[in-house]
Amino acid sequence: MGKQLNVALIGNPNTGKTSVFNALTGLNQKVGNYPGVTVDKKQGVCKLSRGVKANILDLPGTYSLNASSLDENVVIELLLNKNDKDYPDVALIISDVETLKRNLLLFTQIKDLKIPTILVINMSDLMRRKGIALDIELLEEKLHTKIALVSTRKNNGMEGLKQLIENYKTISIEPCLDTTIIDEDYFKSLQKAFPNQDIYKLWLVITQDANFGKISRQELDISRFKTKSNQELKHLQQKEAIKRYQFINGVLNKAQTIDRSKATGLRSKLDRLLIHKVWGYVIFFLILLGIFQAVYDWATLPMDIIDSSFASLAEWVKVSFPGGGKVTDLIAEGIISGIGGVVIFIPQIAFLFLFISILEESGYMSRVVFLMDRVMRRFGLSGKSVVPLISGTACAIPAVMATRNIENWKERLITILVVPFTTCAARLPVYLIIIALVIPDNSVMGLSYQALTLMGLYLIGFGMAIFSAYILDRILKTKHKTFFVVEMPNYKLPLIKNVLITVIEKTKTFVLEAGKIILAISIVLWVMASYGPGDKFNNAESYVNKNSTFQSNYELNDQIAAFKLEHSYIGIVGKTIEPLIRPLGYDWKVGIGLVASFAAREVFVGTLATIYSVGSASEDEETIKTRMENETYEDGTKVFTLASGISLLLFYAFAMQCMSTLAIVRRETKSWKWPILQLTGMTAIAYICALIAFQTLK
């Protein structure tokens, strides 16, 4: 087995760090959390020469080693702890050609930690167009490092970067400048108190306590060294930053030239339009409308193929497996139908992630965040709340984690509590199947009713989040307001490789995570639906034969299967809760789906797929949608009508049906009080809205 290096990717937000990470690792990636911290941890493997592998760790974006948020603190915690298994052998500081000066502040700080550090200047293909020239040899000499000029768009310079990583031991660890001159007496006394420790590491630990409260550490205890107040320490930090920028300016004055006449005004023209106080919202609305229309139009054919393929596969298993029996039924009705209930939505979910990824890659999403800040402020939310609310369209769990950027506790708490109202990918399968059942497949002015309904649900969810935040702000009486600062990256054409990797990784994660839960629940539901207590389940044939007459054996078998399902264990559960949900327009089968989906919302579709498969003895290769369309009450009226469908859509738009999100909220708030309040409050809102909708529309 070859040697493995630890490589940390560090840099400011929007410098192309993700592009470099994708270029080095491709699809050899995995996403987890840092130990004890719910902040995304992206890792990947890069193969170098002679059997050497590099473990690439993509750290959260940070502007300096003076952390102001928990995700920035993750970077410092790692760099201060040599005992951490991810402690880097070499650090890559990712900059782009236009923000080199700002990124060099972070570079010089990490150099002071005596970690071999490579400066990676990305987007080098733009240098000529932007009128930028760099003297690389002089930069390397002054910064005591090696520099990789790369363009992830043109795939230039990546092989040279890999060679630098492999030869990291040849890179100087000499600091760029002596920052102890900001207060020589203080640093001498610090070194005297800790003679065996690195002086800059000590300084970082002390200032982290001043900026952030106590941080965890393995090696250093500086509690006995308190010779300056927090205010004095922060003043010294400011002096340090000034000293570093003086050094950086001196280097760049000699090694960088910029011809301002070559800069274009296209970005400012686009910004004036896209973040305009009127046209900005109109354009964003039209973009959303186009996305939802495309999600429906492009995904219809592959979804129909997947749906009919799983129906055919289930029927083939029933016919082809020797002897039939319970095992065959479990595979056909439990496993295949349950998995089919998830797989059918891969096309639409993939298309949704595709469009979101393109908006992020192009630089437009940062404009959306800035635009929506104007709305957020009026409703008691921090401008930084926009990021979690936007990211909640993928999943509420990372969205709750993203609130760690909000410094004010009450604003952060309000954001955590309202984020689950934002329509996440897990709701999408439920929306899509119900919309397909109850909304006509017609259009107005070329816009599908179904696409408009889906967009309406996204807007309703976002609107409820804003309204709830306004109410909570009045209850919690938030006084302190934080300032919102967001960097506007340059517009750029999305990199196809980055977009594809994002779509594949996110879709794969969704399907695998949802698939595990749905497969397990499908098997449990099938068992509960295939067995039952008492005489009515065991002798269903005699009960059905005594009370009814049938024109064919298929009709008789279908009725027997339906009677057995009604008197199975799962049927008893459904019948027990039916009086509670009947005013909302749901029967006992839908009730089972509601209960099961509290594990995860997307389980609803898999649950109904399993239940309707168990309840059908027909030999036709019916799809899930067809079975649900044909479902009726005893009086012959359809279960899924416009009234019950809208009621169900509203219930799922507002209900808190995700145990994983509740667990993360508990972890972030360090109390069960808030997740319980969140669960009961959102469920009550969902029930009332669904009740009003059904009773009005029926």
pLDDT tens, residue by residue, 154-204: 888 888 999 999 999 999 999 888 888 888 888 888 888 888 778 888 888
- Mean pLDDT taken over the chain: 80
Average pLDDT over residues 131-150: 90
CATH 3.40.50.300 domain extents, the chain: 4-170
Model pLDDT, residue 287: 86
Integer Cα distance of 317 and 121 in angstroms: 57
CB-based contact 649:457 (threshold 8 Å): yes
Average pLDDT over residues 118-130: 83
pLDDT tens, residue by residue, 561-608: 777 777 888 888 888 888 999 999 888 888 888 887 776 677 777 677
The answer, yes or no, to whether residue 632 has pLDDT greater than 60, is yes
Structure tokens of 675?
């997740």
Q: Which residues contact 215 (CB under 8 A, 6 or more apart)?
A: 73, 76, 77, 205, 208, 209
The answer, yes or no, to whether residue 38 has pLDDT greater than 60, is no
pLDDT tens, residue by residue, 271-300: 888 888 888 888 988 887 787 777 767 877
Model pLDDT, residue 407: 67
- Spatial CA neighbour of 218 closest among 203, 205, 232, 235: 205
Strands 443-444, 447-448: pairing kind: antiparallel
Integer Cα distance of 195 and 172 in angstroms: 23
Structure tokens of 536?
């009515």
**pTM of the full structure:** 0.63
Integer Cα distance of 663 and 284 in angstroms: 33
Which of 494 and 598 is assigned the larger pLDDT? Answer: 494
Please give the torsion angle defined by the CA atoms of residues 454, 459, 464 and 466, in that order, rounded to the nearest 10 degrees.
160
Which of 285 and 467 is assigned the larger pLDDT? Answer: 467
Which of 149 and 97 is assigned the larger pLDDT? Answer: 149
In this prediction, residue 650 has a pLDDT band, given cuts at 50, 70 and 90, of very high
Residue with tokens 């016919």: 319
The answer, yes or no, to whether residue 210 has pLDDT greater than 50, is no
Helix (H, G, I), strand (E, B) or coil at 658: strand
The answer, yes or no, to whether residue 648 has pLDDT greater than 80, is yes
Q: In the chain, what percentage of residues exceed pLDDT 70?
A: 83
Integer Cα distance of 367 and 357 in angstroms: 14
Least confident of 63-72, 204-213, 518-527, 669-678: 204-213
The answer, yes or no, to whether residue 217 has pLDDT greater than 80, is no
91 to 48, 59, 354: CA distances (angstroms): 16, 10, 31
The answer, yes or no, to whether residue 216 has pLDDT greater than 50, is no
* Helix, strand and coil percent figures for the chain, each rounded to 5: 65, 10, 30
Which span out of 230-234, 404-408, 479-483, 681-685 was modeled with the highest average pLDDT? 681-685
Residue type, 369: V
Least confident of 228-237, 428-437, 617-626: 617-626
Integer Cα distance of 359 and 367 in angstroms: 10
The answer, yes or no, to whether residue 146 has pLDDT greater than 90, is yes
The answer, yes or no, to whether residue 619 has pLDDT greater than 60, is no
Which span out of 40-54, 76-90, 579-593, 683-697 was modeled with the highest average pLDDT? 683-697
Integer Cα distance of 604 and 353 in angstroms: 21
CB-based contact 60:42 (threshold 8 Å): no
Residue with tokens 């070329």: 446
Q: Which residues of 512-537 are buried (b: 16+ CB within 10 A; e: fewer)?
A: ebbbebbbebbeebbebbbebeeebb
The answer, yes or no, to whether residue 63 has pLDDT greater than 70, is yes
Average pLDDT over residues 18-39: 65
CB-based contact 252:142 (threshold 8 Å): no
Q: Cβ of 633: how many Cβ atoms within 10 Å?
A: 10
Model pLDDT, residue 500: 87
CB-based contact 672:666 (threshold 8 Å): yes
The answer, yes or no, to whether residue 141 has pLDDT greater than 50, is yes
| CA-derived radius of gyration, the chain | 29
The answer, yes or no, to whether residue 617 has pLDDT greater than 50, is no
Model pLDDT, residue 204: 83
Which span out of 203-207, 362-366, 576-580, 617-621 was modeled with the highest average pLDDT? 576-580
Model pLDDT, residue 686: 93
Model pLDDT, residue 190: 83
Give the CATH fold of the 4-170 domain: Rossmann fold (3.40.50)
Average pLDDT over residues 436-453: 84
Integer Cα distance of 348 and 510 in angstroms: 12
The answer, yes or no, to whether residue 21 has pLDDT greater than 60, is yes
Average pLDDT over residues 606-622: 59
Model pLDDT, residue 164: 92
Q: Which residues contact 265 (CB under 8 A, 6 or more apart)?
A: none
Model pLDDT, residue 26: 80
Please give the torsion angle defined by the CA atoms of residues 402, 404, 407 and 408, in that order, rounded to the nearest 10 degrees.
80
The answer, yes or no, to whether residue 212 has pLDDT greater than 50, is no
The answer, yes or no, to whether residue 515 has pLDDT greater than 80, is no
- Spatial CA neighbour of 366 closest among 485, 259, 464: 485
Quickly list DSSP for 377-421: HHTT--GGGHHHHHHTTT-HHHHHHGGGG--SHHHHHHHHHHGGG
* Partner residues linked to 9 by β-bridges: 58, 92
Quickly list DSSP for 31-60: EEE-TT--SEEEEEEEE-STT-EEEEEEPP
In this prediction, residue 484 has a pLDDT band, given cuts at 50, 70 and 90, of low
Identify the H or E element spanning 237. helix 230-255
In this prediction, residue 483 has a pLDDT band, given cuts at 50, 70 and 90, of low
Which of 617 and 12 is assigned the larger pLDDT? Answer: 12
